[in-house]
Structure 1
Amino acid sequence: MKNSKFSITVYCGASSDVQPPHLNIAHELGIFIGENNWALYYGGSKAGLMCAVAAACFEAGGEVHGISFENEFLSSREPKNENLTSHHMAKNIHLRKEILHESADAIVILPGGLGTLDEAFEALTLQYVGVLKAPIIILNHKGFWQPLEHLITHLTKEKFLQDVTRLNYQFIDSLDEAKKELIANSEKKSHLKRIS
Structure 2
Amino acid sequence: MKTPNSVCVYCGSSSRVADVHKAAAHALGAGLAERGIRLVYGGGRVGLMGILADAAIAAHGEVVGIIPEHIKVMEVEHTGLAELHVVDSMHTRKRMMVERSDAFIVLPGGMGTLDETFEVLTWKQLRLHDKPVVIVDVEGYWAPLLALIDTMVEEGFCREEHRRLFTVVKRVEDVFTALDRAPEPSAPADTKWL
Please point out which of 108, 111, 115 is paired with 2:108: 111
Matched with 1:128 is: 125
Contact 1:149 1:171 in 2 (8 A): no
SS at match of 1:31: helix
Tell me whether 1:155 sits opposite 2:152 in the alignment.
Answer: yes
The Cα shift of 1:62 comes to 1.0
Distance between the aligned counterparts of 1:50 and 1:75, measured in 2?
Answer: 17
Matched with 1:88 is: 85
Contact 1:130 1:166 in 2 (8 A): no
The Cα shift of 1:161 comes to 0.7
Distance between the aligned counterparts of 1:184 and 1:150, measured in 2?
Answer: 23
Aligned-residue Cα RMSD (Å) equals 1.7
Distance between the aligned counterparts of 1:81 and 1:153, measured in 2?
Answer: 37
Can you list the C-alpha shifts for 1:64-113, whole angstroms capped at 9, x where unaligned? 000000116x743x611011010111110011001111111110000000
Contact 1:156 1:164 in 2 (8 A): no
Question: Which structure: greater helix fraction?
Answer: 1
Distance between the aligned counterparts of 1:95 and 1:167, measured in 2?
Answer: 27
- TM-score normalised to the size of structure 1? 0.86
Counterpart amino acid of residue 108 in structure 2: P
Contact 2:132 2:179 in 1 (8 A): no
SS at match of 2:105: strand
Contact 2:134 2:175 in 1 (8 A): yes
Counterpart amino acid of residue 102 in structure 2: D
Matched with 2:57 is: 58
Distance between the aligned counterparts of 1:136 and 1:15, measured in 2?
Answer: 22
Contact 2:137 2:168 in 1 (8 A): yes
Matched with 1:168 is: 165
Percent identity of equivalent pairs: 36
Equivalent pairs, count: 179
- Which runs of 5 or more structure 1 residues have no equivalent in the other structure? 186-196
Matched with 2:189 is: none
- TM-score normalised to the size of structure 2? 0.87
SS at match of 2:86: strand
Contact 1:128 1:166 in 2 (8 A): no
- Which runs of 5 or more structure 2 residues have no equivalent in the other structure? 183-194
The Cα shift of 1:15 comes to 0.6
SS at match of 1:25: helix
Relative distance call for 1:150 and 1:166 in structure 2 (3 A) is closer
Relative distance call for 1:141 and 1:147 in structure 2 (3 A) is same
